[in-house]
Each structure stands twice: as structure tokens, then as C-alpha cells.
A and B are shown apart, each in its own frame.
Chain A
Amino acid sequence: MKHTLVALVENQPGVLQRVANLFSRRGFNIESLTVGHTETDKISRMTIVVDGATTQVEQVIKQLYKLIDVIRVSDVSEDRTVDRELALIKVHCASASNRLEISNLADVFRGRVVDVATDAVIVEVTGTDDKIDSLLGMLRPYGIKEMVRTGMISMVRGAQITARGSEARMLEAAG
């Protein structure tokens, strides 16, 4: 099962390397990892999607906590969350009619064409990875020349702060 972990980390040089090292050293597989600033100075937020049995994910979280620069980690997989990923997809586009079709397809997925050339367009789309995968499936027949995805970011719905609620759960599980 896939798990989405949200980690608040000190914005120190090397913190990404520490986290990435930990995953490779302990043999955990990262599906995606994103890092960015938060509302607080000097604190960055990582969203890490990992694949693994629950016990293994618990071990990942505990190991993450051992990193001095990691302040808080929570597994939000079972929370109600808003999950988003951004993708840019460069699609081969030989004719005007293709261009129209691709634009219509993008519309259906609430994406849009953000660049047009004689034989290619760039489609931008945001959403869950499922949604992006579906659009990709529809675009594939035209020929995908290039694609980039940001990896998922995630936030718990409602007034609750993402990295707080599940931390208590985690600590309880750890004793």
C-alpha cells in the first residue's frame, strides 16, 4: 500500500540528502518526494510517497524522527486530504484537428494547453496522480515527447494542521 508522509524539517543544507540517504540505506522505496518552503521561516515541508507494509512505514517514520533536522512526521494516508501534483506534458501534434482534440481532452481533466508550436503542444494539468495518469493514457496515442511531474503534495482537510494530529497517534504506537 502507498503511504503519504508529510515531514516538517529544518531548512538546513543537506537535509534533503539526509532524508534521501536514510531511505536508500534502510532499503525503503520512495515513489515521489517533494520539498518546499512553508508558512514558517527556516522550516521546509517534504511530502514523501512510499510503498510498503504498515510496519515498514512505521519504521520509516521512526527512523526519520532520528534525524536531528526532522521536526515532525505524519502519515496522512488515512486522513481526508487534498492531494495535488502538477504535470507538464509535451504532446506531438501534427495537425490543427489534433490540436483541437488535445485541447478538448485537457479541458475534460481541467488542464490546459500552455504552449503551442507547429508540431507540439504543452499540456499543464494538476490533480491526483490517478487523474494525471488518466490524462496521460488519453494523450499517449498522439505521442508524448516529454513529460515532467512534480510529485505529490498533500494537506489535511479542515481546520486541523496536517503534521499535528497523526503525530500523537504515531507516538502512541511507538509507546
Chain B
Amino acid sequence: MQRLTGAQILCESLIKEGVDTIFGMPGGAIIPLYDTLFQYPFRHILCRHEQGASHMADGYARITGNVGVCLGTSGPGATNLVTGIATAMMDSVPMVAITGQVPTYMIGKDAFQETDTTGITMPITKHNYLVMDVKDLARVIKEAFHIARTGRPGPVLIDIPKDVTTNTAIYEYPTKVNLPGFKPKLQGHSKQVRQAARMIEQAKKPLIIAGHGIILSGAYSELRAFAEKTQVPVLTTLLGISGFPETHPLYLGWPGMHGMYYANMAISHTDCLIAVGMRMDDRVTGRLNAFAPHAQIIHIDIDPAELGKNVRTAVPIVGDAKNVLEALLEEVKPGHHPEWMQTLSQWRIEHPSLALPAKAETMSSPWIVRELYHATEGKAVLVTDVGQAQMWAAQHYFFERPNTHITSGGLGPMGYALPAAIGVQLGKPEEEVWCVTGDGGFQMTLEELSVLVEEKLPVKIALFNNGYLGMVRQWQQLFYDRRYSGVKMWNPDFVKLGEAYSIPTIRVAHVDGVRAAFEWARAVEGPAMIEFVVDAEENVFPMVPPGASLQETIESAEDLAPKMQQVAVAAGSDQGGV
């Protein structure tokens, strides 16, 4: 057995965990660690801001299914990672964040670049560690990776004081973890599976809603087989998109605040809702007391705390989505529901939600997304930011292949898309990766453009420039009487900006140029950026106003006027939700 420094122990252990790519930035407290890192065969991606590193690790983890690793120094390095860690926590993304800390003998003395990193990240990590003794380091790393990837995935932070990275210990990587308080249940209880199967067989209007759990557990074929055997239509959540092929006849879109009208109506009328790997987020449910009012709910999730947290559940099943769907598939009898399917297709005809003209007259964002879909034949991976562009991308691109829609659902940090797209492209170099973003979100993390060039990553950026913080402007238009407070933006010349980063960039301000622009970008060998100067005041519809129920889905601003006046008032008040 060898004696190694803490930094060596960390590097050796990361190799044991299969880590090959690390996203980070050095700083005072981790100079010894970087000195060692330099001597190991990792691919180190130098972010330009640690928030970028955390989102890159997130994107890398989502696309590969492996634990993403990000690294920052003490103090500001750690606090800059926080947004990305919180994002990973809300969206159940496996991540290990490693932070430097001031030396053990200086902790608590308000030393230069000291923060209580474990204290700050306690509520936004699955677990975290402050390693005070180099002898504990190997065990801690083993546990951290195990916790991050096991059960419901999530971020784990390891805070390592500078002297712990230079002190030495005998190194032996543990083969097992001993965590009596961490034993996730992966198999569904057979009694409850039987109960669920009977309930599904008896249902007249059953409905599946599939979440991120499908993608995290790789339950694509199980979900599909289950839906086809039972002939139950499938909704996904925003994070569940690409967990089920969107052109499948049983696919019914996604519900919620900007979901499809017919999807929201389906939830409002179903008598048996089978929720798999999702957590009943308020963006999905609308007003809770009017959610799925006629349904008995079967809720399958790996996290027992999600069952019964927001909605009443008739049959709760704790387990991994893949395992439970497998068990259900075996247990349930084939079914068919012609009347229900008829009702659903009637809604789809009467309220198509996603209908677009073959050619738009103005620079309409949904139409541009649809053009992207045609240009890429639905085969690209879309990494989207937060806000209007995110919603339009999710609505108007039809995702066929598993895990090709990467977005932040829970935390909703603007600036997510570009760094996450970098992580995605690094994780899957052979994929065509599009970063779909707006002028607001793009400017939050555009410093990472350097990384695209430095690492020669062929990420294509579709930048929707409407000169506004569009989603907030939409709310102000609809619910705050058009008082546009703090949403109008002066923007730089994005073409020149692209040039400054030596990224080929073009501006498209007319519909005639859209298709050609996509073809141009796809033909560029490395990264490329298209700035679309889009209609400034276009809104995302359908929409469930905040505080309203899914039945109250509106399809245009005019819809809101007469019948939704009360809803608008509620939305502008404290009672309206967020």
C-alpha cells in the first residue's frame, strides 16, 4: 500500500470511479490539487465562471448518465457553483462537486476566500462532506459517487481544505460503502403492483404521465411496451420529453403551464392517472385542488417522499421506474379504450395547440423552432435555456430519440443552455447539439463561448433575440396591465460578439432566411451562432395562468379577456402562485 497526498488520493479515486472529464477553474485553495491533476490523464475543461462548470457537469451527466464532476476553489469558487448544484438537485442529476477550502487550522477564522461551503450547500445537495482528515478522503469519495448515482440521483459536494490535499495517507480505495441510512428501494411492492394493474384494467379513461424518471432509469422500451399493451395514452412532463417517441400514436404531448390544451383536458378528465418518475411539480399540476379531479392516482417514484407530497395517491409504488414498469407490464392485461381515444382526438382536432402555418409571415419563434425540427429531421439534441425559447423548443420540436431534450425544469436558471450544451457535446461528440436560448439567458453565461472555441466543440447556437426578458414581459402583458417593468434590454451586436470569439455568426431578421441559416450552421465545421431577430411581443400559448387550474388553459391573450378576468386578478395577487 502506498502513501499518497490528498490530491493524489482524489485523482486516483476519480479514475476508479470512471471519471474522465472534469469541469472547473483553479484558485488559491486548490493549487496543490491542480498541480496533481496536471499529472493525470483527465480531460480538464476550463470554465470561465464556476456556474458554467456546474452546468457543464450537469449537461455531461444528463447525456451520458454518468456522474458529472465539477471543481472550484474555496469561497467565490464554491458560491459560483451553487446555481448549478441547485439545478442538479431539483432535476435529480448525478453530480459530484469538489470545492477547495482554506486549511483546516484557518477554518472559522474568516480567512481569505473562506466560506462555510457545506453550510451553504446543505439544502441543495443530496449530501455533502467537509473532509478534515486525509485518512477519510478515499472513503468519502467512494460514498459521494455512490450517493450521487444511486436511488434518486442528485449532487453531492466534497469540501477539501488545502492542507488535506497536501497531507499524506495510506491509500486504499474501499470496495464497499457502509451507509446504514441510505438504502433506496428499487423494486416495487408486488401487492401494490397488482393493485395498480387491476385499477388500470378497470379504468375507462386511463392516462400515463411520464417524467424524468423514465430517462434516468432508461425505461424507454418498458414505457412503450406498457403503453402499447394497455393502449393507454402517454403524456410526458417537461423533463420527461424524449422519454417516449413524440410521433407515436399514443403520445399526447405534455401538460401544465405551457402544455397542450388536450393534454391538460386529458388530466382533467382521466379516471386513472398513472404517474411514473415525476414529482407533481406545480408547473405540471396547476391549481392543486382542481388537479385530476376524477382520477384515482397511481404514483410510481423512487423517492418515497414524493408520494403524497403534493397530491393524494390511491396506489403509491416506491421503486425504480424501469423495474416497476417491467413488473406492471407483466401483471396487467391488454386493454383498449376506443371511446376515450375518440374524445382525445376530438380535443386535438378542436384545439390543436401546436398548429403552425407552413410559412410564417413574420419572425415567429415557434415557427423558427419548427424549421429547426425540419432542418435537423428531428434528430438533433436540443439543450434549451429558461423562458419563452425553452417553452417553444419543447412545444414545436418533436423529439423522437431517447434523451435528446436537455433542459432545466425545477430551478429554472437562465444561462443554463450554453454551458450545459458544452457538457452535452463533450459527453456525446457524435451528436448534433443545438443550444436554444434567448437574448436574456444567453447573456448570463456567454463567457463560456471561449470554451466552445478552445475545445473545438461544434455546438450550434440558435439565439432568439426579442429584446426583452420575454417570459416576464408576457406575464406583465397578461397579468400586470402591460406595465413592462425591467424587461426591455439593450443588447450588444451579437454578430460582432460572435466574431470577437471567432465563432461564425449570422443574423436573420426575415423569414426567408431562416431555413438557409440552419443549413449554413449545420455546414459549419465547428461552433456557429445564428441570431434570430424575432417578433418582440410574441407570447407562449397555450398557458395555464398562475393560480388557475388545468381546465382553465387559455390559447390566446383574447381568451384571457372576458372569462379569465378573475384568474388574472388572482395571478397578480399573492394567491396566484408563482
Contact surface of A with B, Cβ cutoff 8 Å: 9-10, 13-14, 17-18, 21-22, 25, 55, 58-59, 62-63, 65-71, 174-175
User: A17-B119, A18-B122, A21-B122 known; A175 and B307 CB under 8 Å?
Assistant: yes
Pair B305/A62 contact, Cβ less than 8 Å: yes
What is the CB-to-nearest-CB distance from B126 to chain A, in angstroms, rounded to a whole number? 7
Pair A174/B123 contact, Cβ less than 8 Å: no
Is the CB of B338 closer than 8 A to any CB of chain A?
A: no
Contact surface of B with A, Cβ cutoff 8 Å: 118-119, 122-123, 126-127, 130, 147, 179-182, 189, 192, 303-305, 307-309, 315-318
List of B residues within 8 angstroms of A68 by Cβ: 126-127, 147, 179, 181-182
What is the CB-to-nearest-CB distance from B503 to chain A, in angstroms, rounded to a whole number? 41
Partner of B304, one of A10, A17, A21, A174: A174
List of A residues within 8 angstroms of B305 by Cβ: 59, 62-63, 65-66
What is the CB-to-nearest-CB distance from B101 to chain A, in angstroms, rounded to a whole number? 14
Cross-chain pairs A/B with CB under 8 angstroms, 25 sampled: A10-B181, A14-B122, A18-B122, A21-B123, A25-B123, A58-B308, A59-B305, A59-B308, A62-B305, A62-B309, A65-B304, A67-B181, A68-B126, A68-B179, A68-B182, A69-B181, A70-B181, A71-B181, A174-B304, A174-B307, A175-B189, A175-B192, A175-B304, A175-B315, A175-B318
List of B residues within 8 angstroms of A65 by Cβ: 181, 304-305
A-B pairs under 8 A by CB, number: 53
User: A25-B123, A174-B307, A175-B317 known; A71 and B192 CB under 8 Å?
Assistant: no
Cα distance A175–B305 in the bound complex, in angstroms: 11
Closest 10 CB pairs of A and B: A62-B305, A175-B316, A174-B304, A71-B181, A68-B127, A68-B182, A175-B318, A71-B180, A70-B181, A25-B123
What is the CB-to-nearest-CB distance from B83 to chain A, in angstroms, rounded to a whole number? 18
**Among B180, B181, B307, B318, residue most surrounded by chain A Cβ atoms (within 10 Å):** B181
Q: In the complex, which residue of chain B has the Cβ closest to the Cβ of A60?
A: B305
What is the CB-to-nearest-CB distance from A167 to chain B, in angstroms, rounded to a whole number? 12
What is the CB-to-nearest-CB distance from A50 to chain B, in angstroms, rounded to a whole number? 16
Q: In the complex, which residue of chain A has the Cβ closest to the Cβ of B156?
A: A68
Pair A66/B303 contact, Cβ less than 8 Å: yes
What is the CB-to-nearest-CB distance from B304 to chain A, in angstroms, rounded to a whole number? 4
Partner of A62, one of B123, B304, B317: B304
Q: Determine the main DSSP class of A at the interface with B.
A: helix
List of B residues within 8 angstroms of A66 by Cβ: 126, 303, 305
Partner of A59, one of B130, B192, B309: B309
Cα distance A71–B183 in the bound complex, in angstroms: 10
**Among A9, A18, A67, A174, residue most surrounded by chain B Cβ atoms (within 10 Å):** A174
What is the CB-to-nearest-CB distance from B177 to chain A, in angstroms, rounded to a whole number? 10
Beyond A21-B123, A59-B308, A71-B180, 12 additional contacts (C-beta under 8 Å) are A10-B180, A13-B130, A14-B122, A21-B122, A22-B123, A63-B305, A65-B181, A65-B304, A67-B181, A68-B147, A71-B181, A175-B316
What is the CB-to-nearest-CB distance from A35 to chain B, in angstroms, rounded to a whole number? 16
Q: In the complex, which residue of chain B has the Cβ closest to the Cβ of A59?
A: B309
Q: In the complex, which residue of chain B has the Cβ closest to the Cβ of A170?
A: B304
Cα distance A62–B192 in the bound complex, in angstroms: 19
Partner of A174, one of B127, B179, B318: B318
Cα distance A13–B123 in the bound complex, in angstroms: 16
What is the CB-to-nearest-CB distance from B223 to chain A, in angstroms, rounded to a whole number? 20
List of A residues within 8 angstroms of B315 by Cβ: 175
List of A residues within 8 angstroms of B119 by Cβ: 17
List of A residues within 8 angstroms of B123 by Cβ: 21-22, 25
Cα distance A55–B313 in the bound complex, in angstroms: 12
Cα distance A71–B123 in the bound complex, in angstroms: 19
Cα distance A14–B129 in the bound complex, in angstroms: 9
Pair B309/A14 contact, Cβ less than 8 Å: no
What is the CB-to-nearest-CB distance from A93 to chain B, in angstroms, rounded to a whole number? 43
Cα distance A10–B127 in the bound complex, in angstroms: 13
List of A residues within 8 angstroms of B307 by Cβ: 174-175
What is the CB-to-nearest-CB distance from B92 to chain A, in angstroms, rounded to a whole number? 12
Cα distance A25–B86 in the bound complex, in angstroms: 14
What is the CB-to-nearest-CB distance from A9 to chain B, in angstroms, rounded to a whole number? 8
Q: In the complex, which residue of chain A has the Cβ closest to the Cβ of B312?
A: A55
List of B residues within 8 angstroms of A59 by Cβ: 305, 308-309
Cα distance A67–B304 in the bound complex, in angstroms: 13
Cα distance A69–B307 in the bound complex, in angstroms: 22
Q: In the complex, which residue of chain A has the Cβ closest to the Cβ of B124?
A: A25
What is the CB-to-nearest-CB distance from A17 to chain B, in angstroms, rounded to a whole number? 7
Cα distance A156–B499 in the bound complex, in angstroms: 72
What is the CB-to-nearest-CB distance from A75 to chain B, in angstroms, rounded to a whole number? 15
Cα distance A22–B123 in the bound complex, in angstroms: 7
What is the CB-to-nearest-CB distance from B55 to chain A, in angstroms, rounded to a whole number? 23
User: A58-B308, A175-B304 known; A17 and B179 CB under 8 Å?
Assistant: no
Cα distance A14–B125 in the bound complex, in angstroms: 14
Cα distance A71–B180 in the bound complex, in angstroms: 6
Pair A55/B308 contact, Cβ less than 8 Å: yes
Q: In the complex, which residue of chain A has the Cβ closest to the Cβ of B300?
A: A175
What is the CB-to-nearest-CB distance from A83 to chain B, in angstroms, rounded to a whole number? 25
List of B residues within 8 angstroms of A18 by Cβ: 122
Q: In the complex, which residue of chain B has the Cβ closest to the Cβ of A67?
A: B181
What is the CB-to-nearest-CB distance from A173 to chain B, in angstroms, rounded to a whole number? 9
What is the CB-to-nearest-CB distance from A150 to chain B, in angstroms, rounded to a whole number? 25
Cα distance A21–B118 in the bound complex, in angstroms: 12
What is the CB-to-nearest-CB distance from A20 to chain B, in angstroms, rounded to a whole number? 10
Cα distance A18–B315 in the bound complex, in angstroms: 31
